[in-house]
Each structure stands twice: as C-alpha cells, then as structure tokens.
Chain A
Amino acid sequence: MADNNNILTLKGVHFSYNDNREILSDINFYLPKGELLGIIGPNGSGKTTLLNVISGILKPKKGEISLLNQNLNNLPIEQIAKFISVVPQDTWVTFDFKAKEVVFMGRLPYISRLKGETLEDYQISREAMKKTHSLSLSENNIQEISGGERQRVFMAKALAQTPQLLLLDEFTSHLDLNYKYEMLNLLKKALEKEGLTIISVFHDLNLASIISHRLLLLNEGKIEKIGAPQEVLTEEIIQKAYGVRPILINHPALKVPQVIM
C-alpha cells in the first residue's frame, strides 16, 4: 500500500524502560485513513505502552514512526496534539472542574496563551458534548459523576481536540451496555462521516471483533498476528497468546468470530 494513504506507519519499533527489558519489540504495521484497528492481548503484553509510543509520550528505543508522512520523533508534542487525541483508561481530576470545562481543555492545542480562545473553540466543545450525549452533564462537577459519565465527558474532550487519529484505551470498560452501544455507533459515525482513524485497545475480544476492521494481537511485546478478526481470532492463536483453549462461534448477524468460554 502506498505510504500516502497511511495515516500512521510503524517500522521496527522497539521500546524498553531503563532496565532494558523490552516491552515492545519489532513492531511493524501501517494504518490506512478511516480504519479502526483494535489492539488486543493479555495483561502486560504492552498494549498501553504501544498507545503511549504512538501518541509520542514515550520515545521508541529503535525504529521509526511516521504520522502523516512526518517522523513522529521530530514533531514537538504541541504539534502531535493537533493530530492525535487520547481517551485514557482511567482518569483522575485534581480540582472541582465542571464537565464542560474538561471538554473545553480539548481545545488547548489550538489556543494561544496570550490571545485566549475564540467563539469557535466553545462551539466545537459543545458540539463534541452533543455527539457523546454528555451535554446534560455540562454543569456537573467532574469528580461527582459516575465512571461511565466521566468516560463520555473524556470522549467529548478527545473529539473537541478535532484529531485525525483517535487513540482509545479500553474506553468501554466503565460503560453500561446502552452507552457501550451508543459509543460504538458514535465511533462508526466518526469513522464513516468524519474520516477519523481510530486505534483502540480492547479488553473485550468480542467487542473488538464486532467493531474493528483489523485486529492486532500483542503477546509479550511482539505482534502475534495482525489482520481481519477472522484471521486473528482463531483457536490456535488465542491459545498461544492467552494460554486457554476457547470456543469460537460466528456472530449470527455480523458474521464475525465471537469467543466464548
């Protein structure tokens, strides 16, 4: 595939902390625009580390990451923040900010510290809250809303950042079934209508299988398999990565593999 269509390319990426034990080794993949790539893998396989390397927070020890044909390591984080936004797995806010103030922080990469924000920044924030059904929470104290509500607010913040690439770290973990469903619909819309590209870490293999175009299975810091859900979620591959033998069935409506115990 030509490089130009790929929003993100990783070539031979290695990462380790100071103790030199490799957390990620030889990661190679590309991500075309408009795709949702699901990252799965057992605990400690390096999923979150991979997200942090892609978002530029952690610098790889070896290898090259290019974001829109630019070397990520040469981009200052002020610039990266205009392309990539992240919804973290857990959030902890120090002071009593209102939900709408948290969403507005998504505009920070665009706001001059001397001139301040414009009307557009407010409108984009508000639009993001509408999309994530969090507008009714605007005036609430971020510390006093439920985990699921907070997750929606942080999703709104990430959308307010108007990214090209959205990184999600197990973002559905605190969501009830109805909101999980709504968020998935929201993501689908974002993919189809707004041309957003998404990488999401999933704990839930079945959810990952339903929504992802491709899955990337990490095991001990290496890519065990990358491909369509049918190619990745097979009995042998899952047993190799997770050490248990699952039963696989086909989703009756969506025709994607589902893992049951």
Chain B
Amino acid sequence: MNKPLTEIAGYTNWRKKLILMLLIGSLSILGVSLICLNFGVVSINPKEIISLLLGGTQDKTKNLIIWQLRAPRIVLGVITGAALSTVGGAFQGILRNPLADPYILGVSAGAALGACIGIALQHATGYLFASYLPLFAFIGAMFSLYLVYQSSKITYSANSTGLLLAGVAITFLFSALITILLAISRKELQSMVFWLMGDLSAANWKKISIITLPAMIGCLLLFFSSLDLNALSLGEEEALHLGINTGKLRIRIFLIGSIIIASVVSFTGLIGFVGLVIPHIARLLVGPDHRIMLPASAFLGGIFLILCDVLARTVIAPTEIPIGAITAIIGAPLFIYLLRRKNK
C-alpha cells in the first residue's frame, strides 16, 4: 500500500485509502479462494476447476465436490475469519486493551456449553436434535452474555472492568461444566472436542445464508462506530470530553460484537487466535484508524482462516485437524514475533 494517496490539507484521504484497500482486499480474497479450491482429498486440476466454476458440468462428482463441499467451506471460512477479526479489533478498541479477543466476555464458553449439551442430547435421543446444534450453541452464548452483563451490573455498574471480571468468572464456571460433560461422555467425546476446537467441515450454503446477514450488518454497525473507537484510544475521559457517550458506546459494541460472534461460532465452533492476532497485523499494515483498520482486519482474517483451513484438511489428509489447532499453532508464534518487533 505504498501508492501515493491524495492528501487533503495535510491529511490522508481515508476514503480513497479505504476504497483502495477494499479493492486489494477483495481481489486477494478471490485469488486465495481460487487457489484454495485446488486443495482436497480428490485432486482436481486448475483447468477443470475453472471450467466447473464457469458452468461447464462435465463431471457430476467433481461438480459436487467443488460447489457443495469446497466452495461453501471457503465462503464460511471467509465470513468466520472476517467476523472474528472485526469483532476482535472493535473489542480491543473499546477496552483499550490490545490483548482483548472476541471471546473475552465469555460468549465462547456459553456457546461451547450449549453445543456440548446439544451433542450429549443428540446421542441420548438418537440424533433427534442433530440439525439444531447451532441453536443450542447460540442460546448458550446469549445466556452467558446475559449472565455476564447482569453480574457486572451488581458489582461495577457495567464498566469495562466489571464486564471483564464477570466474563472471566462465567468462562471459568462454564468451562468447569464442559469438563464435567467431557468426563462423563464416551461416544460423544470426539464430536465435542472437535466442536471446541472449531470445524469448518460441515459447511453448507444453508448455514452460510443464515450467518451472512447478522455478520455483515453487525460488522457494518461496528464500522460506523470507528470514529468513536478512535477517540476512546485517548482515554475514557478524553472521549467524554469529545462528546462521546462511552457507556452507551461500550454496551453497543459489546452487544453487537457478541451477537455476531454467537451466530458465527454456533456453526463453526470455537476458532481461537484469529480475533486476537489479525487486528494487530491489520494495525501494522494500515495504521490504527478504525475506519481503515476494521475492514482491513476483516479481509486479513478471511484470508488467514481459509489458508489455515487448507492446512487443516491437507496436512495429514484424509484425517482432518481441527482448524482451531492450526490457527493457534500458526497464530501464537506470529503473535510473539509481532509483539517482540513492536517492543524493540
């Protein structure tokens, strides 16, 4: 992004910068997606993929693999990565804490407990609820969010310390319940572990159609709070002096962010590290202005997650590794490297 940008009165024209970034981002996502379509258990050569994408249906099996298995998986990966990273970036901004991630308010623990209960019930009731698993996860996530909010009100009148402490407490409580479920489960254990580490393998177009709307509207709403998030990095009091109602802003960001995350992880399970690391990389690339940084995080997160997913399904194919394990294995060293570089 070294191309000279038009300046107005000494200021970078952020609209032009944003448009340029959107362009580069969309093209990169498209390119990486096309490359990722090539990877899988069944080998399909790039020429065939292009003709399949263009609608030449020579081979029904291959058509099915590309359109019903690989493409939805990539699209779900892009949406999930983008949502996790945008929310992570917004949470880091609202908490003024670069270590915040989308799960910091305990949404993850709630979704996980809901999902594990769902999985346990599936086995007990003979898969009666199989297709309702995401609903269990979503209800769990909303329940934990409600608990966190209520308990923070008791102690700290809903400021960020209160929310964070309540989030930590609820996460511990729910994690303990999950551990008990894991300990007493037998056949269900593997499904539960997979869910806890995140999994894009069950992607299909129906799931995508359900989560696209909340994710997109939610991220757009976060984007329109960018200027407020910028001001908040000067501190709570400074933001108040600039006429920003920080209390309302905090509730708005937490609520929107948590709903986005709840709807996404209900389908994908807990994919860690993306929402923590990607906003940092975005800030290094495009600067801290949330109007540019949040969309950049979305693109980078989408690309990062589909690349991780390719690794997840190819490293020891045909066995799949949970994608959450891959994001952490790549994300953790990357994060340490970035922190070291920054503190030099």
Interface residues of A (CB under 8 A from B): 52, 55-57, 76-82, 84-86, 88, 91-98, 100-102, 104-106, 108-109, 111, 113-114, 116, 119, 122-123, 125-126, 138, 161
Contacts and interface: CB of A to CB of B under 8 A. Distances in A.
A80 B230 CA distance: 19
Contacts of B283: 95-96
A125 B11 contact: yes
Interface stretch (B19-27, B238-246, B299-307): B238-246
Contact of A77 (B15, B96, B244, B287): B244
A87 to B, nearest CB: 9
A82 B241 CA distance: 9
B8 interface: yes
B166 to A, nearest CB: 20
Describe B's contact surface by its main secondary structure. Answer: loop
B316 interface: no
Interface string B226-244: 0110111111011011111
Contact of A109 (B93, B242, B287): B242
15 contacts: A55-B241, A57-B240, A77-B243, A78-B245, A88-B241, A91-B235, A95-B98, A95-B288, A96-B283, A98-B287, A100-B11, A106-B242, A108-B243, A111-B227, A126-B10
A56 B242 CA distance: 11
Given A86-B237, A98-B287, A125-B9, 9 more contacts: A55-B241, A88-B241, A92-B235, A95-B98, A97-B288, A100-B11, A105-B230, A113-B225, A126-B10
B9 A119 contact: yes
B267 to A, nearest CB: 31
Contacts of B132: none
Contacts of A96: 283, 287-288
Contacts of A80: 243
Interface in B265-284: 283
Contacts of B127: none
Contacts of A161: 242
Contacts of B224: 113-114
B243 A81 contact: yes
B238 A91 contact: yes
B8 A122 contact: yes
A98 B14 CA distance: 14
A57 B232 CA distance: 15
A114 B227 CA distance: 10
B15 A116 contact: yes
Contacts of A116: 15
A85 B241 contact: yes
Interface string B88-121: 0000010011100000000000000000000000
Nearest to A77: B243
A146 B330 CA distance: 37
A93 B234 contact: yes
Contacts of B234: 91, 93, 102, 105
Contacts of B230: 97, 101, 105
A52 B288 CA distance: 28
A230 B93 CA distance: 48
Nearest to A90: B235
A94 B243 CA distance: 19
Contacts of B243: 77-82, 108-109
Nearest to B287: A96
B237 A57 contact: yes
Interface centre among A55, A76, A77, A126 (most CB of B within 10 A): A77
Contacts of A91: 234-235, 238
A-B pairs, top 9 by smallest CB distance, nearest first, are A81-B243, A95-B288, A122-B9, A94-B233, A109-B243, A78-B243, A86-B241, A94-B96, A108-B242
